[in-house]
Chain A
Amino acid sequence: MLALAATAVSCLPSCQSVKEYQKSRLNDSEMSLGNRKIEKEELNFQAYREGSSGANGGKTGGGCGCN
């Protein structure tokens, strides 16, 4: 985990300046960093079948849906 965090932090200074007109690939819907709506139910069942949840944009509590 520390190695990953170190890698992530080390990437930041090397970030290139990207102009708006250079973001065509980054703006592609498949490049979204958030969860897509079609993933909503699988995040739901994973949260209840597995003992951990969170850090994925989904719910971290509330309700059951646990049958």
Chain B
Amino acid sequence: MRRVCLTITGMVIGILAAFSQNAPADTSGFKSRALKIDEINILSSYYTQTADKSAVSGGDPGPRGIGNVTDLSNGLEIKLVGWDPKGRKNSLTGGIGMDNHTAASQAYVDSSGRGKKTGTRIYPTVDWTIENETRGTSFGIGAYYSAEHNYYHSVGLNTSFSAKTKHNGEFSAKLNGYFDRIVMIRPSELIPVDSANVTTSPTTDSVVYITTASGRTEALNYSTGQVLSKGGQVRIPSSSRDSYSASFSFTQIINQRLQGAILIDFAYQTGYLGLPFHRVYFADSSTAVVEKLPTQRVKLPIGLRLNYFLGDNVILRGYYRFYIDNWGIRSHTASLEIPVKITPFFSVSPFYRYYIQSASTYFAPFKVHTPADEYYTSNYALSAFSGQYFGTGIRLAPPGGIGSKHLSVLEIRYGHYTETTNLVSNLIGLNLTFK
């Protein structure tokens, strides 16, 4: 962690040093071919959530089902642009993000509720795009990495292609693959005992593995509770989850004020698609089992965007999505955002989003599933519910910069989200763009 912080600090100092010199004006009209810093974005956000019926506690509506969350997210993204000898524009974007969260439900991975609530996620990204401005085509590749306490890693790779049409349209295609290793952290009462060292009548030499809520495994003496080893000396087993998607979009300028886009994704997931610390309680039973879900999932979302410039100061940003998958979920999402330009460089953007979904075939509330069910989960993200999200954003982008000529854009956005599952959350975000 210290190394990551030092790396980020070093990068920021390097950027400031680069900005401290004024490049001589280019009067020749010749485009520099070397990659140069074009844009830097610093993103921060703070998320809070209150909820009950957490998946960790099997949807228990009681105190154990608490699902409160806070999450502080910070990210840095640097975009470099240059032109190669063939006159093609090359963009190299590197980023790193870090989330620090507290999750009340995480404490209940340990049945006593005393598990560790905090965790960190780190996710670097890199993308490279080559754009032929003459032909109107572009090609890109990218990579993504993420690690957190319940994932050993998630590695993502993507490639994309886009081409402009003769009639102010653009077609884009993107292929994505994510390859995850899920740490099989089980609820504490379901942690398998090391069968090699445990007999039907445990002796003082028997060993049990305890998985803490932070994902650390400790080997304990069965009888005395003495810690024999800890801190990664015993690696928790993992399972794979692979996600593939093909994303297609077509954008079209319709007139001088209106443009739209159609977006279609085909997504396929295979592997362990539940989470090993999500409990399910069967009817008439107080003993938990781990949720069980199919090992394959196919998703088909289709989206439509329409943006309209109304008059001289108002923009209407509309979006609709229909979603269907083979787990039985159908959903509709509709949103409208109305940026109002108070001045040409300052806008206020109220927005509203409505979401509704049907339940997955595999979902049932606390103590409703039966052992006869082939698949079972009490994760309320797979239940039938509707949600509303509304809030406001502001955007400031004066031509001379904000305080400094390098700080070109400042955006703040706040949103409030409510679900019919009793989940309520708030999110505030800040984005600073340096040029």
Contact = CB atoms under 8 A, between A and B. Distances in A.
B411 A36 contact: yes
Contacts of A67: 69, 71, 101, 103, 105-106, 119
Interface string B398-414: 00000000000001110
Given A26-B259, A55-B321, A66 B275 contact: yes
Contact of B43 (A14, A40, A55): A40
Contacts of B327: 51
Q: Which of A8, A30, A55 has the most CB of B within 10 A?
A: A55
Interface residues of B, number: 101
Contact of A61 (B150, B178, B413): B178
A61 B275 contact: no
Contact of A30 (B41, B123, B259, B339): B339
A48 to B, nearest CB: 7
B261 interface: yes
Contacts of A40: 43, 75, 429
B319 A8 contact: no
Contacts of B154: 62-64
B271 to A, nearest CB: 10
Contact of B151 (A14, A30, A45, A64): A64
Contacts of B73: 41
A36 B333 CA distance: 18
B389 interface: yes
B427 A45 contact: yes
Given A33-B259, A48-B381, A62-B180, A42 B415 contact: yes
The 7 A-B residue pairs with the shortest CB-CB distance in the complex, in nearest-first order? A61-B243, A62-B178, A55-B303, A67-B103, A55-B301, A54-B301, A52-B323
Given A16-B254, A52-B325, A59-B178, 20 more contacts: A4-B320, A11-B254, A15-B167, A15-B253, A16-B255, A18-B256, A26-B257, A26-B259, A31-B309, A38-B413, A39-B413, A41-B45, A42-B427, A49-B387, A49-B419, A52-B333, A56-B321, A60-B267, A66-B275, A67-B105
